[in-house]
């Protein structure tokens, strides 16, 4: 049974969401503030955190930013009243797997959680017997270890979030080919709304920053991206 933490200071929202998720077969524990969340995480790491942003004892964005340094692949869904596009983009820049704005339908949230776990489980099962190795034009080597969810460049391990991992895997599986933004959204996030295309750009920017040295991803302006590493 998947364990989900809901960090939300509004009792009615926290209880309502918890009940919907529990009816869908998840184990759920709620925390009303960041202090409670830190204590719970220290005792047991969940399979997913559903995180409010505006909390009485701090900023949920800052909390997740620091948490991701220690647990980069821990799945996170932001659940917040901050609806501006800049806030949504910031959430994804911090490594969120999804972002849902209040008010929302609890059923929609449950569907997004189920979709997220399907993606994660599917990625875990899709383990190749051979770990692909790529080389950049500069001569750097990139190894994709699907079994351990590890990326190495020249033997140095590169930490990626769960969303970054899925995007890189999608691009590398189509090495040398254009992958349009909508395909990345559909295969990696289960949605293809135009307003979310900037989310793809944000993740690509983060991936590029981590995959240095070497150029691994080219932009095809107006369309999408192309993984340019050569299979070795």
What are the structural domain ranges in the chain? 3-125, 133-231
For residue range 186-197, list pLDDT tens digits in order: 888 766 555 567
Q: Say whether 131 sits in a helix, a strand or coil.
A: coil
Q: Give the burial string for 55-79 (b: 16+ CB within 10 Å, else e).
A: beeeebbebbeebbeebbebbbbbb
For residue range 118-160, list pLDDT tens digits in order: 877 765 554 444 678 899 999 999 998 877 778 889 988 888 8
Which of 152, 185, 192 is closest to 170 using CA atoms? 185
Q: Residue 122's pLDDT is what?
A: 65
Q: Considering the chain, what is the average pLDDT of its residues? A: 88
Distance between CA 104 and CA 82 in Å, rounded?
12
Looking at domain 133-231, which of 3.40.50.150, 3.40.50.11720, 3.90.550.10, 1.10.10.10 is its CATH number? Answer: 1.10.10.10
Task: Please answer whether residues 91 and 182 qualify as being in contact, where contact means their C-beta atoms are separated by less than 8 angstroms.
Answer: no
Q: Averaged over 196-210, what is the pLDDT? A: 86
The answer, yes or no, to whether residue 208 has pLDDT greater than 70, is yes
- For residue 222, what pLDDT band results from cuts at 50, 70 and 90? confident
Q: Averaged over 157-182, what is the pLDDT? A: 89
Q: Residue 213's pLDDT is what?
A: 82
Looking at domain 3-125, which of 3.40.50.300, 3.40.50.720, 3.40.50.2000, 3.40.50.2300 is its CATH number? Answer: 3.40.50.2300
Q: Averaged over 63-75, what is the pLDDT? A: 90
Q: Residue 51's pLDDT is what?
A: 96
Which of 193, 135, 44, 177 is closest to 144 using CA atoms? 135
């Amino acid at each position: 049974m998947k364990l989900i933490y809901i960090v939300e200071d509004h009792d009615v929202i926290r209880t309502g969401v918890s009940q919907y998720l529990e009816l869908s077969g998840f184990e759920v524990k709620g925390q009303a503030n960041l202090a409670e969340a830190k204590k719970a995480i220290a005792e047991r790491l969940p399979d997913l955190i559903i995180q409010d942003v505006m909390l009485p004892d701090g900023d949920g964005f800052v909390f997740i930013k620091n948490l991701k340094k220690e647990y980069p692949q821990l799945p996170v869904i932001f659940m917040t009243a901050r609806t501006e596009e800049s806030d949504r983009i910031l959430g994804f820049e911090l490594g969120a797997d999804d972002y849902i704005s209040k008010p929302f339908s609890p059923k929609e949230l449950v569907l997004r959680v189920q979709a997220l776990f399907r993606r994660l489980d599917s990625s875990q099962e899709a383990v190749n017997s051979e770990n692909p190795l790529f080389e950049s034009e500069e001569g750097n080597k990139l190894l994709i270890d699907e079994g351990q969810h590890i990326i190495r460049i020249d033997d140095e391990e590169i930490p990626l979030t769960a969303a970054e991992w899925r995007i890189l895997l999608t691009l590398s599986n189509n090495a040398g080919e254009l992958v349009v933004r909508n395909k990345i959204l559909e295969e990696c996030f289960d949605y293809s709304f135009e307003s979310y295309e900037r989310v793809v750009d944000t993740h690509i920017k983060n991936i590029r920053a981590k995959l240095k040295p070497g150029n691994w991803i080219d932009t095809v302006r107006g369309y999408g991206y192309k993984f340019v590493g050569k299979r070795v």
